[in-house]
Chain A
């Protein structure tokens, strides 16, 4: 079956521009995650969506970052007024969460490599 799909795979943008990154999770997965990974670094948690609950936004680095998940499926991560330090790989993952417990591994997309010039 189809895995997690992210688009675009690469994005080069000028400093100050807005960007939108898209994630299409695995069908039926209730949980969706966004992480950021800079070169040689680990995964930095950004935001987590679970069903109809309010998202956990505790990892968003500034108010220039926002994300939404429409209809419990596709998610869009928006970065406004991009800065050079926003350059990283943005990874989306989805999983099945039942009864509040993580019941399946996270399945990651291939990521969007964002370069801010």
Chain B
């Protein structure tokens, strides 16, 4: 089983739709969680951190479910510019390091 798993998609949604992605992780000791966004042929960039209590940034909401070992990203009112690959990233937490493991990414295509 991979340490971090995502449904690769693609998710094809119309503008204005709400879409959600999940990401599961295998190490229950994992400490830090993030969502990165990667545009085609570009480097990944941090979208948002995921906090235990859940957090929101504009149209984006991130949540953590420790019991079921997954994180989620919800995008409301999708824009064409949201089309990208969304990568979850997990700090495994063993040995207190900054090591970060990424999922394979979920591709989102927002259509007009």
A contact residues vs B (CB 8 Å cutoff):
31, 33, 35, 41-43, 45, 48, 50, 53, 56, 91, 95, 97, 99-102, 105-106, 108-111
In the bound complex, residues from chain B placing their C-beta under 8 Å from that of A31 are 98
- In the complex, how many residues of chain B place their beta carbon closer than 8 angstroms to a beta carbon of chain A? 24
B76-112 residues at the A interface, CB under 8 angstroms:
87, 89, 91, 95-105
> Bound state CA distance, A41 and B103, in angstroms?
9
B95 nearest CB neighbor, chain A only: A100
**A56 and B97 in contact (CB under 8 A), knowing A35-B102, A43-B87?**
yes
Within the complex, which residue of B31, B32, B96, B103 is in contact with A42, where a contact is CB–CB below 8 Å?
Answer: B103
Q: Does A108 contact B43, Cβ atoms closer than 8 Å? A: yes
In the bound complex, residues from chain A placing their C-beta under 8 Å from that of B59 are none
B106 nearest CB neighbor, chain A only: A42
Q: Does B104 contact A105, Cβ atoms closer than 8 Å? A: no
Is B25 engaged at the interface, CB distance under 8 Å to the other chain? no
> Bound state CA distance, A94 and B1, in angstroms?
27
**A43 and B102 in contact (CB under 8 A), knowing A97-B97, A102-B32?**
yes
Q: Does A105 contact B46, Cβ atoms closer than 8 Å? A: yes
Q: Does B96 contact A100, Cβ atoms closer than 8 Å? A: yes
A105 nearest CB neighbor, chain B only: B46
In the bound complex, residues from chain A placing their C-beta under 8 Å from that of B6 are 42
> Bound state CA distance, A111 and B44, in angstroms?
10
Is B34 engaged at the interface, CB distance under 8 Å to the other chain? yes
**A56 and B99 in contact (CB under 8 A), knowing A108-B43, A108-B44, A108-B45?**
yes
In the bound complex, residues from chain A placing their C-beta under 8 Å from that of B36 are 106
Q: From residue A12, how far is it (CB to closest CB) to chain B in Å?
A: 17
**A101 and B43 in contact (CB under 8 A), knowing A45-B101, A50-B98?**
no
